[in-house]
Structure 1
Amino acid sequence: MKLALITDLHANRDAVEAVMVHSVLQGAQRYAFLGDYVGYGPEPGWVVDFLIEHVRQGAIAVMGNHDSAVVKGPTPTMVPQAREVVEWTRNQLDDHQLTFLAGLPMSVRDEDRLYVHANAFAPDQWAYIVSRMEAIRSLHCTEARFTFCGHVHEPKLFHLTTTGKAGEFKPVPGVAIPLSPQRQWLAIPGSTGQPRDGNPAAAYAMFDTDTHALTFHRVPYDHEAAAAKVRAAGLPERLAERLVDGD
């Protein structure tokens, strides 16, 4: 089964639509959404409705920190821009959409795979996996062979051997990486809706559950048009600039 891994959509309809078209062409048979469907972007209602429909069709979806903030209130550590957009987003969503976000699980375990937004060691504390050290800590907290996370807006791949040796790969878009079932793996597909690695193209990954091959993808889309929507919504200018420069 080809499983599309999509995360950090951030209310960016243009990027989400581009990724969905690409994933269909790549043969996606199921979808796993790894959190942060809202926040930063101008079309939260559309993205939440999109997610509701895909979950109805059997997709996996977990809660992200921006989703949680919209229904529970922002955390003290949220930067001012994020807090501002949380309040704006809440006013864009109806009760049904807010109830759906509130009901999302923090993590989902499915066969040998764990899906979670931030990490496996404290999913509701939203700590980032920015280095091998955090990746190892997360892998030590689950027996799942493959962990798929969001939260970090850059594609990353870590592994842990049975002898405790850890390593990481720098993914190359479009190149399949065979994930040995003799190791534990933690993969971060990168952000669909707000990439931060200097490349504005939307990011996602495809995992073949039969061959255990993981392929990271980048999908160009009209990020200038998406940035214009951010400005038209009256959201902070920096959020529009991030879509243009991918940083």
Structure 2
Amino acid sequence: MKLALITDLHANREALEEVLAHARGHGAQQFALLGDFVGYGADPGWVLDQARALVEQGAFAVMGNHDAATVRGAQPTMRPTARLAVEWTRTQLAPAQLSFLAALPLTREHGTCLFVHANAHAPAEWEYVLSRAEAVQSLQATPARHVFCGHMHLPMLYHLSGTGKAGDFAPVPGVPIPVLPHRQWLAIPGACGQPRDGNPAAAYAMFDDEAMTLTFHRVPYDHDAAAKKILAAGLPPEFGQRLHDGR
């Protein structure tokens, strides 16, 4: 089965439309949505409706930190722009859409895979996988052979051998990588809705559990249109500028 891994959608309709079309065009048979459906972008309702439709068709989905904040409301410790985005998003969502977010689990398992937004060792604390050390901590916390998470917005792949030897590398888009089960793997597909590696193209990855390969992809989309919607909605201009810069 070819499984498309999409994370950090961030209410970006234009990016998600292109990623879904690209994934289906490359044979995706199922989807895993790794959280942060909302936040930053101007189309939270549309993105959630797409996510709900995919889940009804069997997709896996987990909660992200922006989703959790939207469910519970802005917290005093948040930055002013983050609080504004949370409260604006809450005004855009119907009760059924908020209920969908609230019901999302922190983790999902399927076969050799664990799906989680931030990390496997403390999913509810939203700690980032910043380096090999955090990746190893996550991999040692689960028997899953393939851990897929988001949160970092940067495409990355880590691995851990049975003897405890760890490695990492930045993937090249479009190049299949063998991810054989004699090692554990932690993959961060990169952000669909708000890339931050200097490349504004939307990111996602495709896991083929028969060939045991993982392919990272970048998909151009109309980030100018998405940025203009952010400004029109009255959201902080920096959210739109990030789409242009990919940072």
Q: TM-score, normalised on structure 2? A: 0.98
1:72-221 equivalences under 5 Å are 72-75=72-75, 78-221=78-221
Aligned length in residues: 247
The C-alpha deviation readout for 1:8-60, integer Å capped at 9, x for no partner, is: 00000000000011001110000000000000000000001111111001000
CA distance in 2, matches of 1:219, 1:75: 34
- Report the AA paired with residue 11 of structure 1: A
CA distance in 2, matches of 1:200, 1:187: 20
The C-alpha deviation readout for 1:206-245, integer Å capped at 9, x for no partner, is: 0001111000000001111111111111100100100001
The C-alpha deviation readout for 1:163-221, integer Å capped at 9, x for no partner, is: 10110011000000001211000000000000000000000000001111000000001
- Report the AA paired with residue 245 of structure 1: D
User: Percent identity over the alignment?
Assistant: 63
CA distance in 1, matches of 2:27, 2:77: 39
SS at match of 1:147: strand
CA distance in 2, matches of 1:199, 1:215: 17
- Report the AA paired with residue 71 of structure 1: V
**Equivalent residue, structure 2, for 1:70:** 70
**Equivalent residue, structure 1, for 2:24:** 24
1:75 to partner: Cα distance: 4.8
1:74 to partner: Cα distance: 3.6
CA distance in 1, matches of 2:68, 2:143: 26
- Report the AA paired with residue 96 of structure 1: A
Tell me whether 80-89 or 146-155 shows the greater mean CA deviation.
80-89
- Report the AA paired with residue 164 of structure 1: G
Unaligned runs of 5+ in 1: none
SS at match of 1:174: coil
The ranges of structure 1 where at least 4 consecutive aligned residues each deviate by more than 2 angstroms after the TM superposition are: 73-80
**Equivalent residue, structure 2, for 1:235:** 235
1:76 to partner: Cα distance: 5.6
CA distance in 2, matches of 1:76, 1:169: 37
SS at match of 2:125: coil
1:77 to partner: Cα distance: 5.3
**Equivalent residue, structure 2, for 1:224:** 224
Q: CA distance change for structure 1 residues 108 and 213 in 2, over 3 Å: closer, same or farther?
A: same
Please provide the CA RMSD for this pair: 0.9
CA distance in 2, matches of 1:194, 1:80: 19
1:111 to partner: Cα distance: 1.1
Unaligned runs of 5+ in 2: none
- Report the AA paired with residue 109 of structure 1: E
**Equivalent residue, structure 2, for 1:60:** 60
Q: TM-score, normalised on structure 1? A: 0.98
The C-alpha deviation readout for 1:52-82, integer Å capped at 9, x for no partner, is: 1110010000000000000113456543322
SS at match of 1:124: helix
- Report the AA paired with residue 25 of structure 1: G
- Report the AA paired with residue 98 of structure 1: L
